[in-house]
Amino acid sequence: MIRILLLLSLLLLGPQGFAAESYLDVTAPTSGKMKLAIAPTTALSGSIPADVARELPELFGFDLGIAGPFEIAPNEVGSALLLKSAYGVQGDTAIIECRLVDQVLNREVVAKRYSGRLKDLRRMGHAFSDEVLRVLTGAKGPFTGKIAYVSKASGNKEIFIMDYDGHNPQRLTNNGSINLYPDFAPSGKELIYTSYKKGNPDLYRRELFTGQEARVSSRSGLNAMGVFSPDGNKIALVLSKDGNSEIYQMSRNGKDLARLTNNHAIDVSPAWSPDGSRIAFVSDRLGKPQLFVMDANGGNLRRLTSNGAYNVTPRWSPKGDRIVYARKEGGFQIYAINPDGSGDTQLTSAGSNEHPRYSPDGRFIVFSSTRDGGEGLYLMRADGSGQTRISPDRALNTHPTWSVNW
Amino acid sequence: MRKRIAGCLVVLSLGALVAGGCAKKDLVKEEPPPPVTAPAPEAAKPAQEARPEAPKAPVTEQTPVREPVVAQEPARETPKASGDLQGLLQKIYFNFDSSDLSEDSRNLLTRNAEYLSKQPSVKIRIEGNCDERGSDDYNMALGERRAKAAKDYLVNLGISSERISTISYGEEKPVDAGHDEAAWAKNRRDEFVVVK
């Protein structure tokens, strides 16, 4: 990992690339992680509110701690990296200046100044965390993305969105019926979901900032588990209009319907490969629910999972190299497997864990778990490490899905 | 920058969908990295730190609009209006991960068919349900299959398929919120609801 970081840093930093060498020196022998300390937030001028002084360092510590490459160090002395932040207010505008400093070579690795409304403070902080990962690993962080999920906080299942770390939960639907299966468009600005609000489980597409909504599929029976294709032009979904549940694809407006499966068995939970060429799904055509992969036109079908009697809810990693899913063995546990069926690996073991989905950058997997009682939202790194609760409340929260950065 | 704002205004007038995409550019305003300078000694820090550029535009963000409360699922007919037929139609139950009709279920369906044949103008909706243990995606289809199994049986007994609609609630409408076999057994069911 460190070697990869070194190489990437050399590529990215150009003339300053030699700075990366220092990270190696400090960290290589022991933990394998770079020690990163987070300085108290200072005031750009005057004084700083106590809640801000607490909130920003906590935010950076959470983001960069869960990120993976860093060990968040309690002391600035002896840490390879130091993240400094300063806060100020001009009228109703908040300003933060953030710097990442290489303490070994005494140089600034990256610095940014953000300004915005006071209530956008966390967004600005997450934006710098995204930037720190971009500079040090070559791939921007996903921390300014949103997570949509299904919550029973209001008594019935409604769609909510929140920051990736569980802050700022907002209710999107308010129709009192059952709302399920949220999926973001690749732009992050639209969401499709299934709702019973007009009786039948129909598929809706919501423009998030305007609230404008279209009912894009209201065929007889199920219109469920809709997922945008990677280019955003198509939707794969489950319809039961022809007698039993089958996988179809259609345009984002619900037109040009094409049936992809044709079987008396249950076929559900379509998941696009990131290049849009294949679709993984669940079928019980061999008796019990198992994962299958087919071409996006329905051809070239093959079974993916051979272990376990009940495997469901596949989701492709953004790089296309892994498929994460849930296996029922008593409760559910999350596994990941290579698209050729090799490398089947268990990622969770505490409680019952379902509905895994990768973050848009592939670093993380969000999922729901019963490990702390009820069913709440969690995230972990793609290798299963760093499992952390992110649920905003104690309500039943399931089906998380992570948007690109807003 | 002025060009971009002008672009946004034009797009806003064109349509909300596109406006969302345009708005993204201004969601988080971040500055290009300032020139890298050697970190200052602690005492001189304020004067020697790099100075990021002034912001070009405020961070903006729009709040998702709340959806008005809209119509709920179709109301159930009161038993009175359909001659107590609703009170006569019996639920049927299923084994785990199965849509097979047991002998009990077939007997109950035969009786339901007799009631339905006496009131040929009445339409019903069969609601398929599952317990909480399976995958909720999969259960949505399993509930559908349970409803269809009962419909097919009633149609075979001579009830017009035009009179029977089906819907699956998957595991979303348990009648018993418990987490034991007694509760699960009650929740794996078809309900027969008079709609007209």
Tell me, yes or no, whether B112 lies in a domain.
yes
Put simply, whether A312 touches B (Cβ < 8 Å) is: yes
Do residues B43 and B84 share a domain?
no
Whether A7 has a pLDDT exceeding 60, the answer reads no
**Side-chain half-sphere CA neighbours of A176 within 13 A:** 8
Q: Which residue of A has its CA nearest to B142?
A: A266
Among A46-50, A341-345, B23-27, which is the least confidently predicted range?
B23-27
Do residues B164 and B94 share a domain?
yes
Q: Which residues of A touch B141 (CB under 8 A)?
A: 222, 238, 240, 244-245, 266-268
Whether B1 has a pLDDT exceeding 70, the answer reads no
Among A46-50, A356-360, B60-64, B180-184, which is the least confidently predicted range?
B60-64
3-state secondary structure of A233: coil
Average pLDDT score over residue span A219-244: 97
Please count the other Cβ atoms lying within 10 Å of the Cβ belonging to residue B145.
23
Tell me, yes or no, whether B146 lies in a domain.
yes
CA A306 to chain centre: 27
| b/e map A142-156, b = 16+ CB within 10 Å | bbbbbbbbbbebeee
- A contact test, residue of B56, B65, B97, B135 with most A CBs within 10 A: B135
Q: What is the C-alpha separation between A158 and A141, in angstroms, rounded?
A: 28
Q: What is the pTM of this model?
A: 0.84
pLDDT band at B156, cuts 50/70/90?
A: very high
CA nearest A219: which of A193, A242, A192?
A: A242
Q: Which CATH class is domain A145-405?
A: mainly beta
Q: What is the C-alpha separation between B126 and B108, in angstroms, rounded?
A: 14
Instruction: List CB contacts of B155: < 8 A, sequence separation 6 or more.
Output: B161, B164
3-state secondary structure of A231: coil
- Closest approach of B136 to chain A, Cα-based (Å): 9
Chain A residues 97-136 with a CB less than 8 Å from chain B: 97, 99, 101, 106-108, 110-117, 120, 123-124, 127, 131
Q: What is the C-alpha separation between B127 and B147, in angstroms, rounded?
A: 6
Please count the other Cβ atoms lying within 10 Å of the Cβ belonging to residue A125.
27
Do residues B125 and B85 share a domain?
yes
For chain A, where do the domains classified as CATH 3.40.50.10070 start and end? 2-137
pLDDT, tens digit, 9 for 90 and up, residues A47-103:
899 999 999 999 999 999 999 999 999 999 999 999 999 999 998 999 999 999 999
Whether A161 has a pLDDT exceeding 80, the answer reads yes
Put simply, whether A379 touches B (Cβ < 8 Å) is: no
- Specify the pLDDT at position B83: 63
Do residues B176 and B100 share a domain?
yes
Tell me, yes or no, whether B88 lies in a domain.
yes
Whether A202 has a pLDDT exceeding 80, the answer reads yes
Cα–Cα distances in Å, from B49 out to A57, A62, A183, B44?
Answer: 20, 26, 44, 9
Whether B8 has a pLDDT exceeding 50, the answer reads no
Q: Which residue of A has its CA nearest to B172?
A: A178
Q: What is the C-alpha separation between B196 and B117, in angstroms, rounded?
A: 14
Do residues B20 and B92 share a domain?
no
Q: What is the CATH number of the domain that holds B90?
A: 3.30.1330.60
Q: What is the C-alpha separation between A134 and A141, in angstroms, rounded?
A: 7
3-state secondary structure of A52: helix
Do residues B106 and B20 share a domain?
no
Nearest residue, CB atoms, A312 vs list B54, B133, B138: B138
Residue A155 or residue A27, greater confidence = A155
Taking an 8 Å cut-off on Cβ atoms, the answer to whether A208 and B64 are in contact is yes
Structural domain containing residue B169: 79-194
Do residues B39 and B88 share a domain?
no
Q: Which residues of B touch A188 (CB under 8 A)?
A: 24
pLDDT, tens digit, 9 for 90 and up, residues B59-91:
444 445 555 454 455 555 544 545 689 999 999
- Specify the pLDDT at position B91: 97
CATH of A2-137, one of 3.30.750.24, 3.40.50.11540, 3.40.50.10070, 1.20.1250.20: 3.40.50.10070
- Specify the pLDDT at position A46: 84
Q: What is the C-alpha separation between B133 and B139, in angstroms, rounded?
A: 9
pLDDT, tens digit, 9 for 90 and up, residues A370-390:
999 889 999 999 999 999 999
Cα–Cα distances in Å, from A179 out to A196, A399, B112, B187?
Answer: 7, 11, 31, 20
> DSSP assignment of B64-107, as one string?
PPPPPP---SPPPPPGGGGTTHHHHPPPEE--TT--PPPHHHHH
Tell me, yes or no, whether B105 lies in a domain.
yes
Please count the other Cβ atoms lying within 10 Å of the Cβ belonging to residue A373.
8
**C-beta separation of A160 from A166 below 8 A:** no
Percent share of chain A, pLDDT over 70: 92
Tell me, yes or no, whether B53 lies in a domain.
no
Task: Return the sign of the alpha-carbon dihedral for residues A198, A202, A208, A209.
Answer: negative
Our CA angle for A399, A403, B2, nearest 5°, is 155
In the block, residue with structure tokens 């068995």: A265
**C-beta separation of A314 from A289 below 8 A:** no
- Specify the pLDDT at position A199: 96
Percent share of chain A, pLDDT over 90: 89
- Specify the pLDDT at position B31: 55
Tell me, yes or no, whether B15 lies in a domain.
yes
pLDDT, tens digit, 9 for 90 and up, residues A81-94:
999 999 999 989 99
Do residues B108 and B190 share a domain?
yes
Do residues B37 and B87 share a domain?
no
Do residues B152 and B90 share a domain?
yes
Q: What is the C-alpha separation between A158 and A194, in angstroms, rounded?
A: 10
Whether B14 has a pLDDT exceeding 60, the answer reads no
Specify the pairing of strand A290-295 against strand A278-283: antiparallel
Q: Which residues of A touch B172 (CB under 8 A)?
A: 157, 178, 180
Number of domains observed in the structure of chain B: 2
Whether A39 has a pLDDT exceeding 80, the answer reads yes
Tell me, yes or no, whether B55 lies in a domain.
no
Do residues B15 and B112 share a domain?
no
Tell me, yes or no, whether B187 lies in a domain.
yes
In the block, residue with structure tokens 């029922």: A328
For chain A, where do the domains classified as CATH 2.120.10.30 start and end? 145-405
- Specify the pLDDT at position B50: 30
Q: Which residue of B has its CA nearest to A327?
A: B135
Q: What is the C-alpha separation between A101 and B50, in angstroms, rounded?
A: 12
Do residues B17 and B101 share a domain?
no
